[in-house]
Structure 1
Amino acid sequence: MRSSPLTRRGLLAAGCGLAATTLPALSGCSALAAAEDDPDTLVVHSQLGTTAPGSATYLRALDRFREENPGLKVKNLVNGDDLAQVYETARLARKEPDVVMVNLYDKTLAWTDVGATVDVKDYLDDWGLRERVMPQALAAWTDGKGRLRAFPYFATNWPVAYNRALLDRAGVAEIPTTGDELIRAARKLRAKGTAPVTVGGNDWTGQKLLAQIIQTFLTEDEARHAYATGDFGARGARQGIDYFVELRDSGVFTDKPQGLTSDSMMTQFNTQSAAIESAMSSALAEVPERVARHTDVGGWPLADGAVHDKPTILRSYTLIGFWISPNGTKKIDAVEKFLRFMYRADTVSAFITESGRDMAVRSDALSTDFPLVAAAQRLGSDVGQVLLPDVYVPPTANQPLITATSTSFTRGVSAARVRAALEAAYR
């Protein structure tokens, strides 16, 4: 998705241009006509409803909500990666849906600031839902002016999955916990014809893994500064880039990762063509049972001198939230009914037990039918945690960072060129 600066003027300019040129071609642009003025119709815009993890559970929840609220109709609009652009276009026409279910990333970072969505803090408190939300999630969804951008809902753990059977076959007795051990394991795996670490070096999965490895030598504050400003010149950042280049040029990653995507990564791991992947919980839920039963989850191996004590994972509480639009405030009673229902213990537990989703909402339910998701939930203090940079990267830098990631995963590109590519993404 191409990004543009989301000032109020930038939003208007981008949306007007899109409406004038490509609007008829957008499959989701029925959103423009779908935000009905009928006070008895709640319009919800979501990425759930097709093949996205949790879609079946969500659609069943909508059916139950309709049954419990027979006088209230719910219209469900579905988009994929273009949801943010479609919503912005609808907002320009004042035809936006009432509730939007999307993550905090890229374009959406500026929505509350430019009035595309509203601060929901008072609603959260008035409806008595604050105690249902994990404190970390509330902190992540709150902007620098104290506004709560959306009601937190989906979260994710992002550990590293290790296929023990492939490691055993290659003579790797223990899960690697250091860079040297990972390099030795990669050589043994390659000798057996198995790719070591698979990664989508040409999309967001590679971007996240690169960020994770760079943070080997960065504190959280230092990482926040680097990804907010594009300044990768600090000693720790340079050490992290050096560590990444060492791993890459030692053959740790699958062949030509710079051309692979998240789908390629999942296919390689799930078909046992590769032994290791860094995977968020929704991807772990998709690992076939025959592979999952001999897979362990852990952290990314550390280098000497790392600022962390244990191999690291990523965690995020900003995967999906419920945003309220200006139109939604006109139907706030209907919105309240919907959000109270979605926050209900039985609704939340269904996403955990049926879909293997991690939640930013408190629940005693466990993902028992998704063993790798459940194992990731139990990691706790066995691993360290690094910063997921999504909420700090300026929207204009997101797509260029993907390009810089592909450059970085290209074997032979020097550490200096990797740093230059990362910093250029911010310009």
Structure 2
Amino acid sequence: MRPPLTRRGFLAAGSGLTAATALPALSGCSALVAADSDPDTLVVHSQLGTTAPGSPTYLASLDRFRRENPGLKVKNLVNGDDLAQVYETSRLARKEPDVVMVNLYDKTLAWTDVGATVDVKDYLDDWGLRERVLPVALDAWTDGEGRLRAFPYFATNWPVAYNRALLDKAGVDEIPVTGDQLIAAARRLRAKGIGPVTTGGNDWTGQKLLAQIIQTFLTEDEARHVYSTGDFSGSRGAKDGIEYFVELRDAGVFVDKAQGLTSDSMTTQFNTGAAAIQSAMSSALAKVPESLARHTDVAGWPLAEGAAHDRPTILRTYTLIGFWISPNGTKKIDAIEKFLRFMYRPDTVSRFIKESGRDMALRSDTVSTDFPLVAAAQRLGDDVSQVLLPDVYVPPTATQPLITATSTSFTRGTGAAKVRAALEAAYRSA
């Protein structure tokens, strides 16, 4: 895996990179055509445009923007999970797109610091868009130097979805709120041949659930320290959280072979009724079939005795997708202003909520009426306690090693000490 950009690495790579060496590296990706010098063509690089949640609404919005701005063309480049890598390669070749739509995670944490993207704070204020953004989202996108990395856009709630019909079939009368109740429910579900909690133990979904469970005994400040430093052994709360996770895992709470599953496996198991429970962000909740959503409840993750929280926990983040401006984009800033004013318009934002079930980092009174589980997650309020999403605190070079450590952690029989060692090793490899 190529390491994330650092100022030294970025400059070193850029100094020896010529068009002859850069273009072959780009030949398999859409960023090859990103270097459009036409001032009337805005180049946007996004994960929206194929099967990603919100893609149809995004493409329809682009068509509407083009109709309203006939003299301005928009070229939409699409990549999936490799978007950050593709963008970095195009930036090194000075052929990067003008706007990038991606989340604040892993490689992107370093972009503004190394000049791969620009601070957008002044643009936000000059264009009068600050009041459109939720204050908590602005805080999340602002780095330690006070720079606003991107224009916030998508957010997400991340509760736990419970299939009531399967719980009823197994004789589980109530949604579990304690670890003991969850273990008892898992045993009853297994006795009926139903998988209990499904999760992608081999990717980011399992990583986030593990982090959520570890935080059972951590305050927000303690969690921030643990995930910034990787010191899982020096924190009593982190050690207790890992022991709680191991207790749940070895009691059979997670589906068999969870350590090899992915987010797609998790979604399939839940949506087909093979498993009764999943930790699901908004985009996954939006995919739950209507027939299943009618008998699905959303709630928090059950607590253990002595927890630092007084209510079951959920994750929540406002950094799912933002609009980043590249150095090339500053040459077309008038076009970008038109584009972002359009994307921030209340009617455009409402379409994402109504048509795609997206949570937004912007102010809106629109409710996801066609996505009842997304709306239910928005209404959880004080019924749950929010724990820290560690993405912006984990060093970028530890992100992928942490997923490997997550798979190890979900392997039944791995003791708490070995789980701690695996998590800490991910930071040492950074």
TM-score by length of 2: 0.97
* Partner in structure 2 of residue 230 of structure 1: 230
- Which one-letter code corresponds to 2:246 in the other structure? V
1:273 corresponds to 2:254: no
Deviation, structure 1 residue 351: 0.2
Deviation, structure 1 residue 92: 1.0
| d(CA) in 1 for partners of 2:26, 2:93 | 15
Q: Is the 8 A contact 2:357 2:371 kept in 1?
A: yes
Q: Is the 8 A contact 2:13 2:92 kept in 1?
A: no
Change (3 A) 1:313 1:322: same
* Partner in structure 2 of residue 257 of structure 1: 258
- Which one-letter code corresponds to 2:354 in the other structure? T
| d(CA) in 2 for partners of 1:252, 1:186 | 5
| 1:380-420 alpha-carbon deviations (Å, 9 max, x no partner) | 11100000000000111000000000000000000000000
Change (3 A) 1:277 1:23: farther
Q: Is the 8 A contact 2:159 2:280 kept in 1?
A: yes
Deviation, structure 1 residue 424: 0.2
| 1:198-222 alpha-carbon deviations (Å, 9 max, x no partner) | 0000000000000000000000011
1:11 corresponds to 2:10: yes
| d(CA) in 2 for partners of 1:13, 1:187 | 56
| 1:95-152 alpha-carbon deviations (Å, 9 max, x no partner) | 1111000000000000000000000000000000000000110000000000000000
Partner secondary structure for residue 157 of structure 1: strand
* Partner in structure 2 of residue 329 of structure 1: 330
Q: Aligned ranges for residues 175-324 of structure 1 at < 5 Å?
A: 175-233=175-233, 234-324=235-325
| d(CA) in 2 for partners of 1:280, 1:11 | 33
Partner secondary structure for residue 417 of structure 2: helix
Q: Aligned ranges for residues 273-422 of structure 1 at < 5 Å?
A: 273-422=274-423
* Partner in structure 2 of residue 111 of structure 1: 111
| d(CA) in 2 for partners of 1:212, 1:65 | 40
Partner secondary structure for residue 426 of structure 1: helix
Deviation, structure 1 residue 3: 5.1
- Which one-letter code corresponds to 2:5 in the other structure? L
- Which one-letter code corresponds to 1:350 in the other structure? R
| d(CA) in 2 for partners of 1:58, 1:406 | 34
Change (3 A) 1:99 1:219: same
Deviation, structure 1 residue 14: 6.1
Change (3 A) 1:377 1:48: same
| d(CA) in 1 for partners of 2:228, 2:258 | 26
Q: Which contiguous aligned blocks of 4+ residues in structure 1 show a shift greater than 4 angstroms? A: 12-23, 25-28
1:140 corresponds to 2:151: no
Partner secondary structure for residue 52 of structure 1: coil
Change (3 A) 1:13 1:411: farther
Deviation, structure 1 residue 30: 3.8
Q: Is the 8 A contact 2:18 2:93 kept in 1?
A: no
Q: Is the 8 A contact 1:19 1:89 kept in 2?
A: no
Change (3 A) 1:26 1:193: farther
Q: Is the 8 A contact 2:17 2:93 kept in 1?
A: no
| d(CA) in 2 for partners of 1:5, 1:26 | 17
Partner secondary structure for residue 42 of structure 2: strand
Q: Share of identical aligned residues, percent?
A: 85
Q: Is the 8 A contact 1:353 1:368 kept in 2?
A: yes
Change (3 A) 1:17 1:297: farther
- Which one-letter code corresponds to 2:189 in the other structure? L
Deviation, structure 1 residue 26: 5.2
Q: Is the 8 A contact 2:226 2:232 kept in 1?
A: yes
* Partner in structure 1 of residue 96 of structure 2: 96
| 1:216-240 alpha-carbon deviations (Å, 9 max, x no partner) | 0000011011111110021000000
TM-score by length of 1: 0.97
Partner secondary structure for residue 77 of structure 1: strand
* Partner in structure 1 of residue 35 of structure 2: 35
**Unpaired stretches in structure 2, ≥5 consecutive residues:** none
Change (3 A) 1:23 1:263: farther
**Unpaired stretches in structure 1, ≥5 consecutive residues:** none
* Partner in structure 2 of residue 85 of structure 1: 85
| d(CA) in 1 for partners of 2:297, 2:262 | 23
| d(CA) in 1 for partners of 2:12, 2:381 | 45
| d(CA) in 2 for partners of 1:372, 1:319 | 18
* Partner in structure 2 of residue 70 of structure 1: 70
- Which one-letter code corresponds to 2:137 in the other structure? A
Deviation, structure 1 residue 29: 3.3
Partner secondary structure for residue 252 of structure 2: coil
Supply the RMSD in Å over aligned alpha carbons: 1.6
| 1:330-350 alpha-carbon deviations (Å, 9 max, x no partner) | 110000000000000000000
Deviation, structure 1 residue 33: 3.2
| d(CA) in 1 for partners of 2:373, 2:17 | 45
Change (3 A) 1:420 1:294: same
| d(CA) in 2 for partners of 1:419, 1:344 | 46
| d(CA) in 1 for partners of 2:176, 2:27 | 45
Q: Is the 8 A contact 2:22 2:93 kept in 1?
A: no
Q: Is the 8 A contact 2:19 2:93 kept in 1?
A: no
Q: Is the 8 A contact 1:217 1:305 kept in 2?
A: yes
Change (3 A) 1:194 1:338: same
